[in-house]
Amino acid sequence: MTDQEISELARKLTLEEKAGLCSGAGTWTLKSVERLGIPQITVTDGPHGLRLQKEAEGLTVPAVCFPPGCASACSFDVDLLEEIGAAIAAHCREENVGVLLGPAVNIKRSPLGGRNFEYYSEDPLLAGEMAAAFIKGVQKNGVGTSVKHFLANNQETRRMSVSAEVDERTLREIYMPAFEIAVKKARPWTVMSAYNKINGKYVGDHRGYLTDVLRGEWGFDGVVVSDWGAVNNRVTNLEAGLDLEMPYSGGERDAQIAEAVRSGRLDEAVPDRAVARILKLIFRCTKAPEKPPLDLEASHALARRAAAESAVLLKNEGGVLPLKEGKKAAFIGKYAKEPRFQGGGSSHINPYKVSSALACAPEGVVFAPGYDDKKDETDEKLIHEAEEAARNAEVAVVFAGLPEWKESEGFDRKDMRLPECQNELIRRVARANPRVVVVLHNGSPVEMPWIDDVAAVLEMNLGGEAVGEACVDLLYGRVSPCGKLAESFPKRLEDTPSYLNFPGERDKVRYAEGVFVGYRYYATKKMDVLFPFGHGLSYTTFEYSNLRLGAEKITDKDELTVSVDVTNTGKMSGKEIVQIYVAPPEDGEAIRPARELRAFAKVALNPGETKTVTFTLGKRAFAYYHESMRDWFVESGTYTVIAARSSIDTALSAPVYVESTAREKIHYTADTPYCDVRRDPRAVEIVSHYMREMDRLEAVFSPEAFEMLISYMPLRGVLNMNGYKAKDLEELLSKLSALE
């Protein structure tokens, strides 16, 4: 339907009908207007599978549960995410679902975030690219998406009322870009506004974010929908740009909209605008392209491939992995038989079929449950059995992980520990058999107090319903591990950048670490972590060579091509995730992370094969957000482009000089120190005429001290020292203001 047709249709609606369209008809439906042929559409949760509740039925429709965001992001594979999106869309179409409520792209500010299993990463570029690919996959099949939860919704504690106290630069650099990339690259049909406040104001009331940034700066043209129950004031939220309230408000808040229009408090153009967007959405959903075929078996196979692509081999000493099929293995731990493969809460899928590693294991593998995950109590009988099984096997594989009571939507974790009974089990098994492999099923990082006692660790994350098959494929080397960590694994909770400010104090949480989230913090502080962001091993080996930059010197308006050759130097086919980081100039003025991920690619290589991977870096790769300029700014200087295997493992690096074409705006006042004057040669020239007596000072200071003295001297001091009066200062400032 064209915009013209939509506005004609909207004109036929009464004020009550318009206000009504601005909220749901039920928990999962929008309102219809039969007399005008406006149909009802259904929205439903995802994001890693269809979660469709049929009225009056307890369970949701059985659907393939793909690996949640915590896992799929470790694939660093945009094509895979698009395929998953397409497969879920096929199921949505089958069930007449118009909008899938995902992807969830919030940044993992703390490893304790209860919903981290659903989110992609601590890095905004990775989260944004994963989201954009997923959205493309869903929407090209005629189903809408809802990028959530916009904005700064990074914890579960008091999630519906807490105020994220966060500065603009941090929002722009860390918490917004995943949404920005998703909106600009994939044009989602809806964006879901979050429950929380930002700097004391509910997101729903932030016109600046919901309208000016989202629509004005990023070009979003869809519907802003509230998170379920997030509306705090229907009228002010609507004015700020929150178009659709979900779920049904019982009619009360629809009436408030109509009443506000009637009383003249609200311009009717405001609900009109929201209605036009909602109608556009409804007709987008109902005029969908040809229905894609639904094949649950094929989807399950895709979930298996996705789980394998997303698993991360953290450690592999002495080549303990891959296992050899003829050798006697003991699978220990409840999760070998009943894997934990998804998180709890609104994303919980009723799986089509779940595979366990034990069921898929080669013949002869013995099993011991080791622990009961319903409670954290060491059961000596279970441990003895496990020790016995380990002693009689050539290799012991312990399946450990976080139970649902430790990790779910609705609450944050209290610690980063596995249940102690599982730690104890791993230690004891490692004493019984030196060849121990730990397989982890968790949606967020855990401490590993036993790391030095075990030979290998395979992080399966929450791997979706096919995690068991994928795990066996990897353990037995049918597939080489090729995922890398989408978040840092710190050694201990106390090391995390948000440690002192998570989950905050009462109704406020200060994002005091600023832009130093995840590896940006650890890399800058040169801190040891258990496993760094971007880390992941393979059964083969890769060599990097020939890093080439398109130029040695560019301006911030140019693009820089970066290419690097990667060779598979091992004996098995495999995939490498090449990461490109940029480090800022060493003498830069801005306080910036030591390096930031600016591009990545996953390459498949046969043994002996070399491929050239090419990237293009634009202005944003070098820029930071300059608060007073209210814009992205590139400081002139020498940047380092790093081709890396992980956030700390540099393979190759090369310098590039980037020249700024934007002049940093300086507002000159009596307090402006001379070092700021120095940024603009024209200003230096003007001020030099007022420095007639500086030689006197120069004579009594060492050159270094004189340099500092003058650098930090404000203009009023400079004039004072040189015998000028207040009126001269005024004259100087007026000359300088002409430069601003």
Phi and psi at residue 686, to the nearest 5°: -65, -45
Q: How far is CA 655 from CA 153, 599, 640, in A?
A: 37, 16, 4
User: Quick check: 513 binds ligand BGC (CB under 6 A)?
Assistant: no
Q: Are strands 163-165 and 197-198 parallel, antiparallel or unpaired?
A: parallel
Question: From start to end of 211-259, where are the E strands?
Answer: 223-226
Size of the site for ligand BGC (CB under 6 A): 6
Q: ∠ at Cα 107 (103, 111), nearest 5°?
A: 115
Q: How far is CA 532 from CA 122, 444, 460, 484, 485, in A?
A: 12, 14, 16, 9, 7
Q: What is the dihedral of CA 632, 635, 639, 641, to 10 degrees?
A: 10
In the region spanning residues 669 to 698, those forming contacts with ligand BGC, defined by CB under 6 A, are none
Closest CB to ligand BGC among 52 and 617?
Answer: 52
Q: How far is the CB of 636 from ligand BGC (least distance, A)?
A: 43
**Cis peptide bond upstream of 149, omega within 30:** yes
- Contacting ligand BGC (CB under 6 A), which of 75, 249, 256, 346? 346
Q: What is the dihedral of CA 81, 87, 92, 93, to 10 degrees?
A: 130
**Cis peptide bond upstream of 103, omega within 30:** yes
Closest CB to ligand BGC among 67 and 483?
Answer: 67
In the region spanning residues 53 to 72, those forming contacts with ligand BGC, defined by CB under 6 A, are none
User: Quick check: 148 binds ligand BGC (CB under 6 A)?
Assistant: yes
Q: DSSP characters for 672-704?
A: -BHHHHTT-HHHHHHHHTT-TTHHHHHHHS-HH
271: left (phi over 0), alpha (psi -120 to 50) or beta: alpha
Mapping DSSP onto H, E and C, the string for 361-408 reads CCCCCEEECCCCCCCCCCCHHHHHHHHHHHHCCCEEEEEEECCHHHCE
Closest CB to ligand BGC among 346 and 433?
Answer: 346
- Could you say which DSSP state residue 537 is in? B
* Contact assessment for residue 501 and residue 521, using Cβ atoms and an 8 Å cutoff: no
User: Quick check: 245 binds ligand BGC (CB under 6 A)?
Assistant: no
Closest CB to ligand BGC among 227 and 407?
Answer: 227
User: Quick check: 45 binds ligand BGC (CB under 6 A)?
Assistant: yes
Residues 6+ apart with CB under 8 A from 94: 291, 294
* Contact assessment for residue 491 and residue 529, using Cβ atoms and an 8 Å cutoff: yes
Which positions from 260 to 289 touch ligand BGC by CB under 6 A, shown as an x/- string?
------------------------------
Active site residue 495: no
Closest CB to ligand BGC among 230 and 436?
Answer: 230
Q: How far is CA 554 from CA 351, 585, 598, 625, in A?
A: 52, 14, 17, 20
User: Quick check: 556 binds ligand BGC (CB under 6 A)?
Assistant: no
Q: Are strands 197-198 and 201-202 parallel, antiparallel or unpaired?
A: antiparallel
* Contact assessment for residue 398 and residue 372, using Cβ atoms and an 8 Å cutoff: no
Closest CB to ligand BGC among 45 and 635?
Answer: 45
Q: How far is the CB of 195 from ligand BGC (least distance, A)?
A: 7
55 vs 325: CA distance, rounded Å? 48
Which positions from 197 to 236 touch ligand BGC by CB under 6 A, shown as an x/- string?
------------------------------xx--------
Q: How far is the CB of 29 from ligand BGC (least distance, A)?
A: 13
What tokens appear for 664 in the block?
């940093």
* Residue that has been written with the tokens 């960590």 in this structure: 485
Closest CB to ligand BGC among 107 and 365?
Answer: 107
H helices of 15-103, in order, are 15-21, 69-72, 78-94
61 vs 63: CA distance, rounded Å? 6
684 vs 708: CA distance, rounded Å? 16
| Cα–Cα nearest to 516, from 535, 503, 533 | 533
User: Quick check: 23 binds ligand BGC (CB under 6 A)?
Assistant: no
Looking at residue 734, its amino acid is S
Closest CB to ligand BGC among 227 and 469?
Answer: 227
Query: Sign (positive/negative) of CA torsion 294, 295, 298, 304?
Result: positive
Q: Which of 45, 123, 205, 227 is catalytic?
A: 227
Q: DSSP characters for 453-516?
A: G-SEEEE--S--TTHHHHHHHHHTTSS------SS-B-SSGGGSTTGGGSS-BTTEEE-TTTT-
Closest CB to ligand BGC among 194 and 597?
Answer: 194
480 vs 482: CA distance, rounded Å? 6
The residue number whose beta carbon is nearest to ligand BGC equals 346
Closest CB to ligand BGC among 195 and 544?
Answer: 195
Which positions from 85 to 114 touch ligand BGC by CB under 6 A, shown as an x/- string?
----------------x-------------
Name the residues annotated as catalytic: 227
**Footprint of ligand BGC on this chain (CB under 6 A)?**
45, 101, 148, 227-228, 346
